[in-house]
Structure 1
Amino acid sequence: MPHESRKPLTRIDPTAPLVLDTSALGRQPGSSREEHLSVPAPENFGVEMVGVPEGDPIGLDLRFEAVLEGVLVTGTAAVSLRGECSRCLDPIASDFEADFQELFVYDDTRSGGNADDEEFRLEGDLIDLEPVLRDAVVLALPLSPLCREDCPGLCADCGVRMADAEPGHRHEAADPRWAALQDLAGALAPAPPDRGDEGSRPRGSSDRREGKQEG
Structure 2
Amino acid sequence: MRQYTRSIPAPPEPERFGAETIVVPPGRPIELDVRLEAVTEGVYVSGTARTELVGECARCLDEITEDVEVRIGELFAYPDSVTDETTDSDELPRVVDDRVDLEQTVRDALVVDLPMAPLCRDDCPGLCPECGERRADLPADHGHETLDPRWAALRERSSLNDAVAD
Tell me, yes or no, whether TM beats 0.5. yes
- Matches for 1:99-114 after TM superposition, within 5 Å: 99-114=71-86
- List per-residue Cα deviations over 1:158-180 (Å, max 9, x = no partner): 11110000112110110123436
RMSD of aligned alpha carbons: 1.4
- Matches for 1:22-171 after TM superposition, within 5 Å: 32-43=1-12, 44-116=16-88, 117-171=90-144
**3-state SS of the aligned residue for 2:137?**
coil
Structure 1 CA distance, aligned partners of 2:43 and 2:28?
28
Where in structure 2 are there 5+ consecutive unaligned residues?
Answer: 158-166
Deviation at 1:124, TM superposition (A): 2.6
Deviation at 1:110, TM superposition (A): 2.7
Structure 2 CA distance, aligned partners of 1:110 and 1:84?
46
Q: How many residues in Structure 1 have an aligned counterpart in Structure 2?
A: 152
The higher radius of gyration belongs to: 1
The answer to whether the 8 Å contact 1:81/1:93 transfers is: yes
**3-state SS of the aligned residue for 1:126?**
coil
Q: Which residue of structure 1 aligns with residue 147 of structure 2? A: 174
User: Normalising to structure 1: TM-score of the pair?
Assistant: 0.67
Structure 2 CA distance, aligned partners of 1:110 and 1:52?
36
Where in structure 1 are there 5+ consecutive unaligned residues?
Answer: 1-31, 187-215
**3-state SS of the aligned residue for 1:96?**
strand
Deviation at 1:131, TM superposition (A): 0.7
- List per-residue Cα deviations over 1:189-208 (Å, max 9, x = no partner): xxxxxxxxxxxxxxxxxxxx
**3-state SS of the aligned residue for 1:179?**
helix
Q: 4+ runs of 1 displaced by more than 4 Å?
A: none
User: Normalising to structure 2: TM-score of the pair?
Assistant: 0.86
